[in-house]
Amino acid sequence: MKKKLSEELQNIKKKIPKDETIYDLAELFKIFGDSTRTKILSCLSITKLNVSELAEILDMNMSAVSHQLRILRAAKLIKGEKAGKEVIYSLDDNHVMLIMECGLSHIDER
């Protein structure tokens, strides 16, 4: 038999996000869990870049960078704009920058 929660605990339970939202948040943070993707986001927080520029900066091959860009794009953390034959990548919006800044601030406090 389930024990009835106190009123205080019931109020806390009502305020936490739904399971689906928590799952989506955990998935978002998994994207940041890869250092290559985090490096790409760091580069794009400075300026817009294409695949070959990112590959050169990160000393990686273009195929590996493209793979990570697909993951970041699917997570809606970056966007790409066609410029002739190439795609120029940038952060999707300011929220991505805020997540990065909060994480870096947290690390700097240690």
Both tokens assigned to 84: 């002739």
Residue given tokens 């928590």 in the structure block? 22
pTM: 0.87
What pLDDT, in 10s, does the model give residues 46-90? Answer: 999 999 999 999 999 999 999 999 999 999 999 999 999 999 999
Sketch the domain layout of the chain as residue ranges. Answer: 8-108
- Which of 3.40.50.620, 1.10.10.10, 1.20.1270.10, 3.90.1150.10 is the CATH number of 8-108? 1.10.10.10
Residues 65/54, Cβ–Cβ less than 8 Å = yes
Give the pLDDT band of residue 104 (cuts 50, 70, 90): very high
